[in-house]
Copies of this chain bind each other. A is one copy, B any other.
Amino acid sequence: MNNKYLMIYNEIVAQIKNGEIAPGTLLPSENELKDQYDTSRETIRKALNLLAQNGYIQKVRGKGSIVIDISKFDFPISGLVSFKELAEKMGGKSKTIVNELSLIIKPDSYLRHQLQLNSKDQVWKVVRTREIGGNKIILDKDFLAAKFVPQLTEEICENSIYEYLENELNLKISFAKKEIIVEEPTAEDRSLLDLEGFHNIVVIKNYVYLEDASLFQYTESRHRPDKFRFVDFARRNH
């Protein structure tokens, strides 16, 4: 990484995380940092703005940059979290079961709307159950525009579709829009998940876009409510 402001950002993040810089204290001023890192002030400011965006510091004009106490929170705040990352966090053994893998030749109007497709575009449908600690607690329903994904196998789905897309197909995912709602479980939820008497399902609708801003994937991730948790960080713009 030959990126100066990212290197500075990462160094300061590391210092905050390992306690070298205490929460509540001030960072060195931008002019001091500029000298320390032998760079320009704008470059320092880029690094500090990243820190502020990600909730590590709070910048105050006339005062300085205050280090925020992050100890109470599990980072990363927000962002695209894949099942693999989630499973690692929760600990316990995880497993993926592929319930369905099909190529829809004629998508219905709901799907065409969600993926903004022509009637001739085909769509991959993948239904997977996620098991953590012996319980099936997540049902993932993925719909991928086939024009971007020529091939898809059960093996790929058992591992990570994301890794396949990014590493093999070189598709770059750039951003996603999420919507979180709570629903009654469907018959499909009941049959594929270990609901254990829970009466609701947390549904995360995920619209995933590629680098050129084309929408290529729509995912519904259906979670048993007791295992669901979402963290968000929001800065207020005055």
| A interface, CB within 8 angstroms of B | 24, 55, 57-58, 60, 63, 66-69, 72-73, 77-80, 116, 172-182, 198-200, 202, 207, 209, 211-213, 215, 225-226, 228-236, 238
Contact = CB atoms under 8 A, between A and B. Distances in A.
Contacts of A60: 211-213
Contacts of A202: 182
B180 A230 contact: yes
17 contacts: A58-B212, A67-B213, A72-B207, A80-B236, A175-B235, A176-B236, A177-B231, A179-B229, A179-B230, A180-B229, A180-B230, A181-B228, A181-B229, A182-B225, A182-B228, A199-B199, A230-B230
Contacts of A24: 213
Copies in the complex: 2
A18 to B, nearest CB: 20
A1 B175 CA distance: 31
Given A68-B213, A182-B202, A200-B199, A175 B236 contact: yes
B182 A63 contact: no
Contacts of A177: 55, 73, 77, 231-234
Contacts of A66: 212-213
A231 B179 contact: yes
Contact of A178 (B69, B213, B234): B234
A63 to B, nearest CB: 7
Contacts of A211: 58, 60
Given A69-B215, A232-B232, 6 more contacts: A58-B212, A58-B213, A78-B78, A79-B234, A175-B233, A176-B236
